[in-house]
Structure 1
Amino acid sequence: MNGASRRTVLKLLGASGVLGFGIGSASAAKPKGNIKKLGHSLLSDPPGSYAEVDVRGDGHFAVLGSFLGEGGSFLVDITNPTQPTEVHRVPSSEHTRNADVKFDTRDGLYYRSQEPNDDEGVGGVEIIDYGYGDATPENPAVIGRLDAEDTHNIFCHPNADIVYTTNAHGGHDDEENTGFDIFDVSDPWNPTKLGEGGPAGALHDLVIDPGTEFMHCAYIGGGLDGYVIVDVSTPTEPTEVGRFDYEGLPDYSEERLEQGKPGFESCHYANYDPERGLAVVGDEIGHGWPGGKHIFDIGWGDGSRANPKHIGFTYSPNAEYQGDDDRETYDWTTHNHDVISKDDTTLLVDGGYHEGVVVYDMSDPTDPVPVDIYETDDEAADANGAAWLGSAPNAWGANYNEARDLVVASDMTTGIYTFKVTPSRNNGK
């Protein structure tokens, strides 16, 4: 199905309330949600592929990481969101990937994770000064390093000079994985490891709600597959408060996809609803039957943080079998997402790989509905994206910045995008 017809399908769904795949039941109110591209840039496009994107709190800068290749990290000025402009690139070795990037709460600093691509690569986390000390946005400097071994994802505590790093160093199946590492970065030139936290297992990613200081964790193996909530109100003394364990629940399958029923495997990413007691958890599956999005009640209704209750689920709009080899990879599985609350509408925006950036109406959390899509394939013919990915779109993730009411997304092949996402009726305008 080509891009135009996919968007047509979503417009019809938004207008009629009739859903594909048997996902849930039709909502009483017509679903809302509209995505409009503001700007795009392929950036300097070194060989390889882009990865995670983060947006600074004031919404004036974004930073992108890279996956395979020799990309490094890219600071982007989005003051004018219609013209994202690369300010600097800090290259990396082709032997080391920088999949995740995060801004510090202090202006002028960001972090980039490190994972080896081969035996010559290195792990840990690098600290980049782009204006905190003597460096500038145009002339950045690597000023410190967190000794965290191979690190895929990182997150900064929103109210303390603490950085948490996932420590699934031995792979998802290694029983020796121990949750996350805790680093004091009050002196970014001399960071200090303080200890470890979270339950044992292969923690894949973590997100902290700044309003509640609860950490939302996605464990993907190593003895634990599922969603975990950790209290980090005392940043150096994290405490688990609740979990939803996938053990014993059904995997994804042809039958469950056809019926719109959830599977429970490969828990990959968890994020929170900023206004309601809800969390959204995504399963990423690279081959075979694709993973989707779970909605958990953690205080909205009968659920709680101590006892998360599964209440809703959706697949991506075009979910189908993804094949069994590397020529058909991550086609229709969901990936990294954010939740947008506007008036009486709650929207979920996802970087959905070959779907592009997808918007779901989750105002009724028991019945989330895909409503609009933007295929992130701008300038794809000119891009140096890795051949193993297949053709764009290859959207990695989407982040909402409330200060400027912007969504910033990254595509592994085509770079950075800025969007306006609104709850207006999905009518194609």
Structure 2
Amino acid sequence: MRSPQRRDVLKATSALALAGIAGVGSASGPDDGGDTLRLFSEVAVGGSLEVSTQGTRAYVATGNGLAVVDWRNPTRPEVVGSMTAADPAGGILDAKVEGDLASLASNGGPGITLVDVSDPTDPTEIGFVDVGHHIHNNFLADGYAYLTVNESGDAAFSEARTTIVDVRDPWNPEVVGEYRLKDDFPEFAAGGVNPCHDVYVQDDLLYQAFWDAGVVVADVSDPTDPQLVSQFGEAPNADSPGFDLEEYLTAPGNAHYVQPSPDGDLVYVGAETFPGGFVENPDNDDYGGITIFDVSDYDEPRELVRIDPPNVDAFRTSHNFDVTANRLHASWYDGGVTVHDVTDPANPETVASYHTDDTSFWGAEAARGFTVGSNIGGGLVFLHEDRGKRGSPGFDTTGRPDSPGIE
């Protein structure tokens, strides 16, 4: 295993490490927190999917474009601007923002749409970056866009990678680099269930969720030449060739979303699974949870604990989440939204939750003392641990997922 080292601030050289540590525990289900998150305010956003907050604004992917929500007054959030992305964009599930630039990932188109959001009341399309393949998720950091790219070759997802686009001048974007799974892990690239599903960038480190291949961390201090730092959390059969639908939909594995702690010593990995009626095996009812890894030594990443899904009778796999210094804010589709105290990451404690029978959540973000949840298709809810009402939002909440096609 090669282990390049180019940054003095890294705490250890890179290495391949297996994270399945014997005796690792499981945290209690989020129902222990009770339904103590309260609905402080809400705003209808048609087609709402991923939400990204920046200051007093929330940016929402809407399937065909972007909506901007102003919540300077958190009691009265309102949609102040929106736009529909031009062809060839389509199936926009993910929106990210950095400064005055937003990027919209086209799950049904071959790239990302760049949007000028300097005037939130008039988000304006700058242009489309065509990379030739659909983009499920993306991330903006330090003037670069990181795109999940998957294409089939001799094996499903054999060309799974992250493509890096220089957007410092968004009117003249340029593809400048990429990290390919096959360059460091050809056995995983030849496996049938290892797409690059989501990415996160912090402190020049690129965190990539490669489904059953687990998490691959790369140094992107030079975005034109990403270098391997570490890999961990793969499923036992991640190198099995050929695509198997049931293996893809069920545990173990399914690294769907990844985010480090603010200090970088921990990595949170959410698994998205589709058991029950989606697979032939009726006994496979393991809904995906969120696993916390200690990566303070990248030579030896250690799995600390898994946070189980809410103990409710609903489709409740982990979806997107947000991590602060001592809190984890998580969404669980029909299972609702939860908040966990992770001051002691080996013993996380559920401190609050929000669940109703008619809501389903795509994401949850921490912002300004609130948990901002994106109810699929309906809008945003602003949840608070002490203030607000119980019950469902007043907007339409019928956008619940009914198949693994919405992920």
TM-score normalised per structure 1: 0.69
2:332 to 321, 328, 352: 352
Aligned to 2:392: none
Q: 1:47-88 CA distances to partner (integer Å, 9 max, x unpaired)?
A: xx32110012xx111111134xxx421111121122211012
CA–CA separation in structure 2 for the residues paired with 1:276 and 1:216 = 11
Equivalent residue, structure 2, for 1:273: 261
Residue 198 of structure 1 contacts residue 238 of structure 1 at CA under 8 Å; is this kept in 2?
no
Q: 2:166 aligns with which of 172, 175, 184?
A: 184
Q: Does 1:292 pair with 2:292?
A: no
Amino acid at match of 1:164: Y
Is 1:410 the counterpart of 2:374 in the alignment? yes
Q: Is the 8 A contact 1:52 1:64 kept in 2?
A: yes
Alpha-carbon contact 2:177-2:226 (below 8 Å) kept: no
2:113 counterpart residue number:
126
1:83-232 to structure 2, matched below 5 A, reads: 83-92=76-85, 96-104=90-98, 106-107=99-100, 109-116=101-108, 122-131=109-118, 136-148=119-131, 149-157=133-141, 160-170=142-152, 174-200=156-182, 201=189, 202-209=195-202, 212-220=203-211, 225-232=213-220
Contact 2:105 2:111 in 1 (8 A): yes
CA distance in 1, matches of 2:151, 2:48: 22
- 1:283-362 to 2 correspondences below 5 Å: 283-288=271-276, 289=285, 290-299=287-296, 304-318=297-311, 331-341=315-325, 346-362=326-342
Aligned to 2:245: none
- Quick one: distance in 2 between partners of 1:187 and 1:24? 46
Does residue 64 (structure 1) correspond to residue 60 (structure 2)? The answer is yes
* Alpha-carbon distance in 1 for matches of 2:383, 2:126: 33
Q: Deviations over 1:9-41 (max 9, x none)?
A: xxxxxxxxxxxxx97478xxx989963433211
- Return the alpha-carbon distance in structure 2 between the equivalents of residues 307 and 278 of structure 1: 12
Q: Take 2:290 and 2:104, find their aligned partners in 1: how far apart are those partners?
A: 27
Q: Note the C-alpha offset of 1:311.
A: 1.3
Give distance in 2, aligned partners of 1:189 and 1:24: 48
5+ residue gaps in structure 1?
Answer: 1-21, 117-121, 251-261, 323-330, 378-390, 425-429
Q: How many residues are aligned here? A: 327
Q: Please tell me the root mean square deviation across aligned C-alpha atoms, in Å.
A: 3.1
Q: Secondary structure at the match of 1:279?
A: strand
1:53 maps to amino acid: V
* Partner in structure 1 of residue 344 of structure 2: 364
CA deviations on 1:102-158 (whole Å, 9 max, x unpaired) are: 112x32x21111122xxxxx3210011132xxxx3223321121112200111112x
What is the one-letter code of the residue matched to 2:78?
T
Closer, same or farther: CA 126–93 of 1 in aligned 2, 3 Å:
closer
Specify whether residues 86 and 78 from structure 1 end up closer, same or farther in structure 2 by C-alpha distance, changes over 3 A only: same
Deviation (angstroms), 1:195:
2.6
For residue 176 of structure 1, report the CA deviation from its aligned partner. 2.8
Give the corresponding residue for 1:373. 353
Question: Distance in 1 between the 2:251 and 2:158 partners?
Answer: 26
Q: How does the TM-score come out when normalised to structure 2?
A: 0.72
Partners of 2:33 and 2:361 lie apart in 1 by 23
Correspondence 1:398 to 2:364:
yes
One-letter code aligned to 1:183: V
Equivalent position of 2:10 in the other structure: none
Q: Kindly tell me: are residues 351 and 128 of structure 1, through their superposed partners in 2, closer, same or farther at Cα, counting changes over 3 Å? A: same
CA distance in 2, matches of 1:93, 1:87: 20
Structure 1: distance between partners of 2:200 and 2:345: 20
User: Is the partner of 1:246 in helix, strand or coil?
Assistant: coil
Q: Matched residues in 2 for 1:298 and 1:263: separation?
A: 23
Percent identical residues = 28
